[in-house]
Amino acid sequence: MDTPTPPAAPRPLRRDAELNRQRVLVAAKEVFAERGLEATLDEIAKHAGLGVGTVYRRFPNKEALIDALFEEGFAQILELTERALAEADAWAGLVFLLTRMAEVQAADFGLRDVMLSETYGRDRIAQMRDRIKPMMEQLVARAQEQGLLRADFRATDIMAVQLMISATVEFTHGVRDGGWRRYVPMLLDGLIARRDGVTELAEPELDDDDLHSAMQSWPRYRRGSAPVESRRQQDL
């Protein structure tokens, strides 16, 4: 409106400022990775050894930070999909893809949230999703032609499968990392067209203690345990 910005010269940041911007990005990546997108910008700032103000000076809001951060992650997923598609055996490609995706989910809860949510990234990330979709469809189609993937499977089911995987990742998280490796093969054994035996499970079972801890930390409904607990002794 007033100062007509010269198209491509937004003035570079001061050296320390640029350094801090990087620090924020790194910290954000780490914190989001282990806590998911629900992580606070305060947490990220603290982790970066900076004040929140600094974060907000570089990124107008949380969403912008997320956008800046996960373009790369999505590119990684795109590449995974391409590799899966390049496989001659499409079923092997699918197994590869779902396993690697599970690894991604387990390693980066932030990326998982971005991937599974669609509430994010109206922009570039949405485009990524659109590019990945037809590749998935092709992968499914080829795996079925080759007779290994069950014929009634559809590309849209992949999302549900990912969600199931996500559930096992979250369930075993912090209790037995990599515990999900027990469940991905089980799931895949349900997707194959036919089989004589069973795929060996890459991970031993959870024992009762594991199960107990896992259920304790299962997210749904926390809070409300003993919230107020004050002001009583006044009735008589």
Interacting residues with a copy of itself (CB under 8 A): 2, 36-38, 61-63, 113, 116-120, 150-154, 156-157, 159-160, 163-164, 166-168, 171-172, 182-183, 186-191, 193-198, 200-201, 205-208, 210-212, 214-216, 218, 220-222, 224-225, 236
**Amino acid letter for position 120:** Y
* CA contacts within 13 A on the Cβ side of 82: 8
Question: Secondary structure of 56-69 in the HEC alphabet?
Answer: HHHCCCHHHHHHHH
Selection from a copy of itself, DNA, none that 171 binds (CB < 5 to 8 A by kind) is: a copy of itself
Interacting span for DNA (CB under 7 A) from 38-46, 75-83, 112-120, 160-168: 38-46
Phi/psi region, residue 178 (left: phi>0; alpha: psi -120 to 50; beta: rest), is: left
Distance of CA 165 to the CA centre of its chain: 11
Q: Look at residues 83, 70, 165 and name the one whose alpha carbon lies nearest to residue 111.
A: 70
Q: Nearer Cβ to DNA, position 6 or 227?
A: 227
51 binds DNA (CB under 7 A): yes
Among the listed residues 3, 200, 224, 236, the single contact to DNA using CB under 7 A: 224
CB 53 within 8 A of CB 60: no
Nearest distance from residue 57's CB to DNA, in Å? 5
Query: How many residues of this chain bind DNA (CB under 7 A)?
Result: 32
* 36 vs 178, beta carbon nearer a copy of itself: 36
What are the residues whose beta carbons fall under 8 Å from the beta carbon of 202, sequence distance 6 or more?
A: 181, 182, 184, 185
- CA–CA dist 159, 156 (Å, integer): 6
Shortest Å, Cβ 230 to DNA: 5
Which residues contact DNA (rule: CB under 7 A)? 11, 13-17, 20, 38, 40-42, 49-54, 56-58, 60-63, 223-224, 227-228, 230-232, 234
